[in-house]
């Protein structure tokens, strides 16, 4: 059995400390989870800190088990410097793709309220209305539109569009899953014939088939959860998984092409 490597051990400790800290101080999510750009809580450091935040015990348990299982093998061959560079790069790639998809989806939703012709400042104020349901959102929306001179233009269609846009803007992203998917891709590159298995799949599958299949499922579920493709969102940032995997693939392809895979950085 592969022993835990130093950088993986440190990442495990940091993730667990963040998780326990958030349980003690729930307000920490406001500062460290990754909010969309349009949210007033967005801060640039969240691009990094979100990958140390998790939404529940099963979320962190799965990610940390994967980090230990795949990360230790990769750090053993790469060394700590190259490993942490790869891990953080995949996490940042995950954040970038998810934020891009969120922005695209938000623009699509806001087409339903285009006739209001809201200014950027007014729209930002609308997207950050605190609410618990549609009624409370409308209660917060009315004075904003009145001040902007748009109250007489609002109807059910554009009110619903603004509600869904605000709802999407206020959902933060947390988790190391994007970075983990990058590690999965790297593992499949380096050990393509290693056999992997999930609890609900009794037959082991080689990494070169397992990892692409997992990414394909995320792509399907990601598109299925977007309003312009269908419905059925899972509450999981599937495109973050894909983003981490994509950056991982690009980096592994580049390193392999330049015969850099076997070089240690330390």
CATH architecture label of 6-106+170-257? Up-down Bundle (1.20)
Alpha-carbon gap, residue 9 to 266, rounded angstroms: 18
How many degrees, rounded to 5, is the angle at CA 106 between CA 100 and CA 109? 145
pLDDT in tens, 254-265: 988 876 545 555
In the chain, where are the structural domains located?
6-106+170-257, 115-169
d(CA 69, CA 3) in angstroms, rounded, equals 9
Distance CA 180, CA 36 (A): 21
| Cα(111)–Cα(107) distance, integer angstroms | 6
Dump strand ranges (E) for 130-202.
195-196
Mean pLDDT of all residues in 1-14: 90
Tokens of 146: 């009145």
In this prediction the pTM is 0.88
Which is it for strands 205-206 and 195-196: parallel, antiparallel or unpaired? antiparallel
Of residues 246, 220, 216, the one with CA closest to residue 233? 220
Give residue 13's pLDDT. Answer: 97
Could you give the CA distance from residue 83 to residue 86 in angstroms, rounded to a whole number?
A: 5
Taking residues 93-121, report their average pLDDT: 93
């Amino acid at each position: 059995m592969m022993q835990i490597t130093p950088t993986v051990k440190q990442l495990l400790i940091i993730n667990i400390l963040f998780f326990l800290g958030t349980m003690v101080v729930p307000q920490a999510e406001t500062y460290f989870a990754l909010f969309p750009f349009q949210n007033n809580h967005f801060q640039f450091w969240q691009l990094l800190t979100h990958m140390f935040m998790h939404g529940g015990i099963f979320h962190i348990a799965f990610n940390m088990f994967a980090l230990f299982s795949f990360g230790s093998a990769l750090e053993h061959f790469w060394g700590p410097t190259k490993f942490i560079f790869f891990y953080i790069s995949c996490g940042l790639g995950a954040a970038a793709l998810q934020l891009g998809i969120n922005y695209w989806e938000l623009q699509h939703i806001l087409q339903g309220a285009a006739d209001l012709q809201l200014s950027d400042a007014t729209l930002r104020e609308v997207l950050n209305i605190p609410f618990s349901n549609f009624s409370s959102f409308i209660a917060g929306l009315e004075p904003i539109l009145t001040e902007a001179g748009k109250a007489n233009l609002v109807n059910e269609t554009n009110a619903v569009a603004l509600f869904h846009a605000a709802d999407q803007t206020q959902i933060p992203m947390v988790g190391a899953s994007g970075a983990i998917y990058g590690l999965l891709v790297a593992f499949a590159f380096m050990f393509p014939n290693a056999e992997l298995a999930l609890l609900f799949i009794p037959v082991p599958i080689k990494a070169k088939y397992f990892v692409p299949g997992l990414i394909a499922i995320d792509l399907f579920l990601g598109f299925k959860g977007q309003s312009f493709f269908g419905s059925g969102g899972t509450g999981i940032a599937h495109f973050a998984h894909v983003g981490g995997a994509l950056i991982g693939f690009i980096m592994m392809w580049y390193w392999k092409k330049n015969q850099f895979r076997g070089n240690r950085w330390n």
